[in-house]
Structure 1
Amino acid sequence: MKLAIIKVILWPKNQTKTPRIIEFATDRINVITGQSASGKSSISWIIDYCLGSNKCSIPVGMIRDLSEWFGLHIQLRNLEMIIARRNPGDRKSTSDLYWEEGVDLMPPEHPEKNARVEDFKNRMNQIARLPTLDFSDADGNPGYASRPSFRDMAAFNFQPQHIVANPFTLFYKADTTEHRETLTHIFPLVLGAVDAGTLADERELRDLERQYARVRREHEKRTRAVDAWSAEVQSFYFQAKEVGLLMGSPEPEDGWRLERYLVELRKVPDNLKELNLPDVPEGATENAVEVLRRTIATDEEHTRRIGDLRRRLAQLDVLADSVGEFRSELAQQEDRLSGTNWLKKKLAEDCQCPVCGNSNARALDELAQLEDLADEVAKLSRSAAVAPSNLDKEKAEIREELRTLESNLRVVRKKRAELEGQTEQIVKQRQRVRNVYLFAGRVQEALNNIDAAEDGGDKVRELARLNELISVLKRKLDPGVRKRRLMSALESVSRGIESYAKLLMLEHQDENPTLDAKELTLKFQSKSGRTDYLWEVGSGQNWVGYHIATFLALHEYFLKLANNPVPTFLVIDQPSQVYFPEEWPALDEAPKGKGELQLSEDIKGVRRIFLALDQMLTNTDNELQIIVTEHAGSLVWESCKNVLLIGNWRDGEDEFLIPEEWRV
């Protein structure tokens, strides 16, 4: 996949400041040299972040404090892109993205979000012609082998400072389980041992195998069902005779075989049509239930009314008794007040008491009150005399209504009993009809399954068809062919590693250094037959040298493929770190003083790294872009024709990654 970095761009938070733009050549070894803390190593992280990394690894501090957006201007085969991602601040990352495609693009003055990172990744997957299918296992579970992504290719584009001389990790991010497992799955794809068509065939094979397993289970289930039906045919025969579906069939004999029972049972579907089953009109049960419901409601209403009237009659009886007692009491009171008129006449003559003979002027007033009381008692007595007849009349009316309601209730309850019996009969009839049809259906199903099993059935034919398709795909996806392709690719890369190891004058170069795509490291075969791995060979010079040799050999191989998804750039950070400490000067000339010879050998070692990079570009007609960030100066690359110095980030020389004007 043609992809090279034209510019790395930083936009400041202070928009009055000018964006920082670092330009690169797309077909050279671009070198940025400089002192510590100048921002060299951040170039790798900025490129990775802008190309869609899930995490922003750009160092916190001045770079992230002063930058608002980080961006790239990249060159693809036929167009350019400008991608910028917002500084995530305190978050791990952000999906805010500025994205533009075209020709002869110019970076914007101030980026504004117009897309999402996922949109950009999908677009790059398309440009890289990555398959849309995953590397799922036989059960269809992707696990770490999900769809290959443009982001997975970053493992082949970056050798950051903590990886380039790491004896235990050869590839970027392969120090985590997730990325390591993903890389082992995509290796055959990037090496050209498999392609999108292969993945499509593998997916189709998995689908066909799952379908075959499903149809086989269904066939086995049907066969077991047939065995079960076969064991029950005698029971079916007796049941069919019992419900009247085999009235003309003979009683079974001891010697009857399965086929004899089946001959008789095959008559069941036709006999069902002639069977005189009771006709239950549509909706008959529902209508009967509705009439019954209304009758029950009338029954309950009559019962409630009768109860109310009986309670009313009892209350009237109690009231009549109370009225009788009241009349007796009033009669006694009238008797006591009957002498009032006689006493009034006696007092009217001389106001003398006829009993004691004394005179009393107030006697007439008291006597008038007694006279009023006597009148009141007389009125109550007359009213009480009328009350019994009124009560008797009301009780007679209630008794009459009770007789009418009780008569109606007897009629309603008789109707209710009849309706309940009728409804139960309809339900039984319907249930009988339903049971007969269900039984006939079971018999028909048994006959169909037995027929299907006897001639192999549609399932057997489907299994044969699927088996043929699976066989064709398995021959096409011969694992031996795929393995040979992968081994051939690894052999080609390994020979390239050996060639660059000789150019770098590394130890163990004659011990068949081989790339192990499963372990993601290099292994060596000693003359004694022992197998050693990269971490076992020792020496920082060997570790960094074999990292460089591996990646140059891989990219040289990638460039020979007709279609490869790995971008055509390589970023290497501090390859000289194992040769001399960071506080050394720029080394624009040979060092003098104590230890000069030993240090000169170190300088030669770094020179060999640049010579190897230079040779790789010559071998590939400068199709690969290489970016190197280094402490060392021009002394280590002065004889390399493909090296281009991009910046010398030292005090008094070029601006650092963050320019001076931003810090003011």
Structure 2
Amino acid sequence: MSFIIRSITIYSYAGETRTLTFRTHGLNIITGRAKTGKSSISDILDYCFGRSECYVAEGVIRQHVSWFGVEVQNGDGVLFIARRNPGQSGNTSPDIYIRRGAYDAPPLYPDLHKNTTEEALIRLLTRFAGISENENRPLTGTRGPLQATIRHALWLCFQKQDEIASRERLFHRQGDQFIPQHIKDTIPYFLGAVNEEHFLRQNELDVARAHLRQLESRRVALSRNSTNVLQRLRRFLLDGKRVGVIDQHFDSDDFDVCVQTLGNAIKADIQAPAIHSDSSEQISRLEDELYTLRQQLSNVQSDTRATRLFLGEQNAYTREVVEQRARLSSLHLFTGKAQSIEECPLCESQLEAPTPSVEDINSSLAVLDKQLQTVVAESPHLQQRLDVLNKKKSEIGTAIVDAQRALERAYTEDARAKAQRDQVIERARVVGRISAFLEELAPSEEDSDLDNQIERAKHSVEALEEVVSAEDVGQRIDTFLNLISDKMSYYAKQLELEHGGSRVRLDLKKLTVVADTVTGPIPLNRMGSGENWIGYHVLTHLALHHWFRSRNRPVPGFLVFDQPSQAHYPPEADQEGRLDPLEDDDRRAVHNLFELMHEASEDIGDGFQLIVFDHAHLEVDWFEDAIVEEWRGAKALVPASWIESP
């Protein structure tokens, strides 16, 4: 069995709770005046069952409720689902709480927190409803396969106030984009026209078809190979000659000889006569050595330039001083014999006025002579230094030339080794292609029996296609719809609807109800009056759920009708739920409608709930027994104390 609804709980922002408990089977009625929150229950259920947006109307509920909670049961399994109210003007909330197992009371407000996601919730509810792996594959069109989930099943479980009285739309959300096609694609699974065994056979058919395609592709490949085998044979002979595994002078048109030659070629030694070891290490060493020598040469050249510059400056200084002393000596202007400041240091005559210290001049000249002697003494050492540097530079230059030659030889050897390696790789590649070609030429035992294998695979595919054929599925759908039509026609007579004496059926192609009359088929949108539209909505969904429960299909075991009496008992006529103000025909129609819902829910039995929200209150025992709550006066879904609290 699928799941039913045990209770609905709402939480205030102060942490208070309000729980609405349902009977687990049969008719459940919430009656009361307008604007008490009855219609919002459908939106709360839809939202808690994984709808992406919250459609609870703006107003009291949005303002004063913090979380919505629903408790569902499947056999012994119980699941509590809560979603946070997105608040006024909000579309949705990511906060979803799930609790598994049966408890005496709903979770406390502080316990509510996000512990799952919307996608995970849908997967969980899909399994909880008993929906197994399935897939609808469209035979035409461009849309892809579709897998039925709980969201698709719920379209068969709700009839909101504006839907139950529609002449154009039969199912919940049928007016939304893409949903009509999704209903058409998934309802065969929910009806049982395609079951779990069907999907197993479909998977076997997919495997069988793939195997057949492989065998047929193999046969086509073999056929193509036989037409161009000679061209490929000649091409491989040329490749073998090019890389040296076949004699350059070989020339024959005999097929067997050519094949034998190729067979010998794949046995040839593909290694080169001599492949030198990798010289990259030697090249790296020589490059480092050459770099070091060039650094040394640069240093020697710098020292030589500095020595030559110093020697040149010394020689210029010496030449200048010697020239000056030679001039003085040649004119005999300075003798260096003056002993006091009264004597002229040049002519040794007596001076009338004292002159600077002759001793200072003599001392300076003595220092100059000493420096000149030192410079003259250092000159041979500098020249010797230049000779050593020039010799060292010559030696380094020779070493650089030798290193460059050795590096060039290493480069040459490395290039030759790489070329030989490339030749070996190319030989291996050609030999590999020749080997694969020869394997293709050799017929295997599998290929020799290929035709028989293809025939057996075709028979297997044909047998599976008969089991999962679209025609067979279509016939089962038609059969099931005929059986459902019997129940619909029976309900239509009970409600005394227009065309109720005709055969009434569900048209899945157009997603509508059709009455087959002697003048032709009449669809729902060509029938008059709201009474007919509501009546046919009610009987169609009751007949479908009668089928679902009798066949134990994975559709939730509840059905929600919102304001089914609106055609006869609109909200403005509400007088505490009494039907006295209504005309006799209207009273009888409302009574017949609720009586049908009561009898049908009892007929369907355990595992099915019919939840009805309405203004009417019939004063009969079975209606009184079915009332879950009556919201009149100050009583409503949201307690008055929540609204009055700040």
- The TM-score range, normalised by the shorter chain, is 0.7 to 0.9
In structure 2, how many angstroms separate the alpha carbons of the residues matched to 1:559 and 1:259?
74
1:634 is paired with a residue of what secondary structure?
coil
In structure 2, how many angstroms separate the alpha carbons of the residues matched to 1:624 and 1:455?
58
In structure 2, how many angstroms separate the alpha carbons of the residues matched to 1:134 and 1:73?
29
2:493 aligned partner, one-letter code: K
What is the correspondence of 1:228-239 to structure 2 with a 5 Å cutoff?
Answer: 230-239=230-239
Alpha carbons 1:511, 1:524 under 8 Å: kept:
yes
1:388 has 2:379 as partner: yes
Q: 1:223 to 1:383 in 2, by over 3 A?
A: farther
Per the TM alignment, residue 151 of structure 1 is displaced from its structure 2 partner at its CA by 3.3
In structure 2, how many angstroms separate the alpha carbons of the residues matched to 1:212 and 1:362?
135
What is the correspondence of 1:161-200 to structure 2 with a 5 Å cutoff?
Answer: 161-200=161-200
The residue number in structure 1 matching 2:354 is 362
1:559 is paired with a residue of what secondary structure?
helix
In structure 1, how many angstroms separate the alpha carbons of the residues matched to 2:282 and 2:139?
64
Per the TM alignment, residue 112 of structure 1 is displaced from its structure 2 partner at its CA by 1.8
The residue number in structure 2 matching 1:261 is 258
Per the TM alignment, residue 558 of structure 1 is displaced from its structure 2 partner at its CA by 1.6
1:113 has 2:112 as partner: yes
In structure 2, how many angstroms separate the alpha carbons of the residues matched to 1:50 and 1:232?
68
Per the TM alignment, residue 554 of structure 1 is displaced from its structure 2 partner at its CA by 0.7
Q: 1:644 to 1:427 in 2, by over 3 A?
A: closer
Alpha carbons 1:85, 1:97 under 8 Å: kept:
yes
What is the correspondence of 1:465-544 to structure 2 with a 5 Å cutoff?
Answer: 467=458, 469-509=460-500, 512-525=503-516, 527-529=518-520, 532-544=522-534
In structure 2, how many angstroms separate the alpha carbons of the residues matched to 1:466 and 1:440?
36
The CA RMSD over aligned residues, in Å, is: 3.7
What is the correspondence of 1:329-348 to structure 2 with a 5 Å cutoff?
Answer: 329-336=320-327, 338=329, 342=335, 344-345=337-338, 348=340
The residue number in structure 1 matching 2:416 is 425
The residue number in structure 2 matching 1:33 is 31
In structure 2, how many angstroms separate the alpha carbons of the residues matched to 1:323 and 1:109?
106
Q: 1:142 to 1:215 in 2, by over 3 A?
A: farther
Per the TM alignment, residue 627 of structure 1 is displaced from its structure 2 partner at its CA by 1.7
The residue number in structure 2 matching 1:401 is 392
1:567 has 2:556 as partner: yes
In structure 1, how many angstroms separate the alpha carbons of the residues matched to 2:344 and 2:256?
135
In structure 1, how many angstroms separate the alpha carbons of the residues matched to 2:606 and 2:616?
23
In structure 2, how many angstroms separate the alpha carbons of the residues matched to 1:290 and 1:465?
64
Q: Any idea what the Cα deviations from partners look like across 1:448-487, whole Å, max 9, x if unmatched?
A: 2233599837988876675454334223212222111111
Q: 1:165 to 1:423 in 2, by over 3 A?
A: same
2:146 aligned partner, one-letter code: A
1:360 is paired with a residue of what secondary structure?
coil
Per the TM alignment, residue 573 of structure 1 is displaced from its structure 2 partner at its CA by 0.6
2:354 aligned partner, one-letter code: R
1:432 is paired with a residue of what secondary structure?
helix
In structure 1, how many angstroms separate the alpha carbons of the residues matched to 2:388 and 2:348?
58
Alpha carbons 1:144, 1:178 under 8 Å: kept:
no
TM-score by length of 1: 0.84
In structure 2, how many angstroms separate the alpha carbons of the residues matched to 1:548 and 1:128?
23
In structure 2, how many angstroms separate the alpha carbons of the residues matched to 1:376 and 1:315?
27
The residue number in structure 2 matching 1:648 is 630
The residue number in structure 2 matching 1:128 is 129
Alpha carbons 1:333, 1:377 under 8 Å: kept:
no
The residue number in structure 1 matching 2:614 is 630
Q: Any idea what the Cα deviations from partners look like across 1:252-288, whole Å, max 9, x if unmatched?
A: 2xxx354553243222223x04x884143xxx432x2
The residue number in structure 1 matching 2:595 is 611
In structure 2, how many angstroms separate the alpha carbons of the residues matched to 1:151 and 1:310?
90
Q: 1:479 to 1:246 in 2, by over 3 A?
A: same
Per the TM alignment, residue 406 of structure 1 is displaced from its structure 2 partner at its CA by 3.2
Determine what percentage of the aligned residue pairs are the same residue.
22
Alpha carbons 1:226, 1:453 under 8 Å: kept:
no
Structure 1 residue ranges without an equivalent (≥5): none
Q: 1:355 to 1:649 in 2, by over 3 A?
A: same
Alpha carbons 1:80, 1:105 under 8 Å: kept:
no
1:342 aligned partner, one-letter code: T
Structure 2 residue ranges without an equivalent (≥5): none
The residue number in structure 2 matching 1:278 is 273
The residue number in structure 2 matching 1:57 is 55
In structure 1, how many angstroms separate the alpha carbons of the residues matched to 2:177 and 2:247?
75
Q: Any idea what the Cα deviations from partners look like across 1:228-269, whole Å, max 9, x if unmatched?
A: 6642322332443455534498522xxx35455324322222
- Larger mean Cα displacement after TM superposition, 185-194 or 453-462: 453-462
In structure 2, how many angstroms separate the alpha carbons of the residues matched to 1:661 and 1:455?
83
In structure 2, how many angstroms separate the alpha carbons of the residues matched to 1:385 and 1:261?
94
The residue number in structure 2 matching 1:92 is 92
Q: Any idea what the Cα deviations from partners look like across 1:261-320, whole Å, max 9, x if unmatched?
A: 3243222223x04x884143xxx432x221232123323332443344345435544443
What is the correspondence of 1:182-221 to structure 2 with a 5 Å cutoff?
Answer: 182-210=182-210, 212-213=212-213
Q: Any idea what the Cα deviations from partners look like across 1:303-351, whole Å, max 9, x if unmatched?
A: 4433443454355444434332222101023235555763753x74964
TM-score by length of 2: 0.86
Alpha carbons 2:156, 2:171 under 8 Å: kept:
yes
- Larger mean Cα displacement after TM superposition, 437-446 or 509-518: 509-518
Give 1:556's match in structure 2, choosing from 546, 549, 552.
546
